[in-house]
Amino acid sequence: MNLFSLKQDFLQYIEIEKGRSALTVRNYDHYLDRFLEFIKVESPTEITETMMREYRVYLNRHPARAAKKGQAVETLDKRTQNYHLIALRAFLKYMRRQGVKSYDPERIELAKTGERELDLISEKELQNLMSAPDTKTIIGLRDKAILEMFFSTGLRVSELCSLDRDADLKTGEISVRGKGGKIRVVFVSGAALSAVKDYLKGRVDIDEAMFIDHSPRAQARMVKEESIRLTPRSVERIVQKYAELAGIAKKCTPHIIRHSFATDLLYNGADLRTVQMMLGHASIATTQIYTNVTNKFLRDQFEKFHNKKNK
């Protein structure tokens, strides 16, 4: 079998046997396509050490996005390079298990990355963000509900977009399906519950999605009985729109609000294991990134309040 047909088998394997999400499968497909287009061979046995080394150089120099005129070209960061290599290593391991001879996956070392830093917004910026939507309109009601839900629950953008309007909001708890198909319970604050109820009260459609597109283009899709559920990209644009209205200069995404949710819990005394469960992290090592932020917060509090008479 050639590499292209093996790739298709591998993608089906991670989707069915490994239960990977559609997004993960799509990303792996993209990463592997980039590799196969670079090496320009079809047989698994033709992959060489030289090809692999040249591919690493290619990734390191590859533009992250098209640069505007006069701007320096930004290349793929080390983490993104590693995502490519992780997908490639998994593909090579799959071929080995199938008895297909190819490049040894154990020879692929991931690029060293610096300590990850969180992008955060201040408490004041968060307050300005939450109050930015104009709740006199149905779009403003929707966007207010979206922002409140993000900060109340710490949902990923894909998880929020998958919510249906028939979710039981009376208990203040919602079950969501996260990464790897794992179910977890998230807790909805009074402010978020109120915002969602106000929004749903103003809806006149029958779409099952909790959050939908209200643009004129969506009306045409409704006539064709197509779903007008918001996509993750649409929600990202909504968040950035209100960040700009709130005067937040830095890039603001749903994931940054998720960070705010996590750090707010830790600042107020929650332990790391609790935050891990609420965020839906498979490993507590992923959650530990937040300790760097809270340690700095505690240091600031110590210097501000401890033993002031001797200063």
From 54, 77, 107, the end of a domain falls on: 107
Give domain status of residue 83, yes or no: yes
Active site residue 259: no
In a domain, 21, yes or no: yes
**Structural domain includes residue 115:** no
Residues 257 and 176 in one domain: yes
Q: Can you state the angle between helices 232-245 and 254-267, rounded to 10 degrees?
A: 70
Point out the catalytic residue in the list 56, 290, 299, 308. Answer: 290
Give the model confidence (pLDDT) of 283-306 as tens digits. 888 888 887 766 666 666 667 666
Q: Given 7, 142, 144, 156, which residue is catalytic?
A: 156
Q: Which domain, by its residues, includes 275?
A: 123-303
The answer on 187 and 51 residing in a single domain is: no
Active site residue: 34, 179, 184, 241, which one? Answer: 179
Q: Do 65 and 149 fall into the same domain? A: no
Which residue among 45, 73, 107 closes a domain?
A: 107
Active site (annotated) includes residue 156: yes
Rounded Cα distance between 105 and 138, Å, is 53
- Which of 57, 76, 107 is the last residue in one of the domains? 107
Are residues 152 and 103 located together in one domain of the fold? no
Element (H, E) at 165: none
- Return the CATH number at 288: 1.10.443.10
Are 149 and 192 found together in one domain? yes
The answer to whether position 117 is within a domain reads: no
pLDDT for 283: 86
Residues 129, 207 share a domain: yes
Q: Are residues 50 and 185 in the same domain?
A: no
Instruction: Count how many domains the chain has.
Output: 2
In a shared domain, residues 180 and 58: no
- Residue 87 maps to which CATH number? 1.10.150.130
Are 185 and 250 members of one domain? Answer: yes
Q: How much is the pLDDT for 250?
A: 84
Query: pLDDT at position 200, please?
Result: 96
Say if 67 falls within a structural domain. Answer: yes
Say whether both 82 and 175 belong to one domain.
Answer: no
3 C-beta neighbours (distance < 10 Å), count: 22
pLDDT digits (tens, 9 = 90+) for 65-103: 765 666 667 888 888 999 999 999 999 999 999 999 999
Shared domain check, 274 and 182: yes
53 is catalytic: no
Residue 258 among the catalytic residues? yes
What's the CA gap between 194 and 198, in Å, rounded? 6
Provide CB contacts within 8 A for 217, sequence distance 6+.
none
Is 31 a catalytic site residue? no
Give the chain's residues under pLDDT 50: none
pTM over cut 0.85? no
* Catalytic-labelled residue, pool 7, 89, 258, 259: 258
Whether residues 222 and 247 share a domain: the answer is: yes
Is position 281 annotated as part of the catalytic site? yes
Q: For residue 101, give every residue at least 6 positions away whose Cβ sits within 8 Å of its Cβ, in sequence order, or none.
A: 44, 45
Which of the residues 20, 84, 89, 281 is marked catalytic?
A: 281
Q: Residues, the chain, total? A: 311
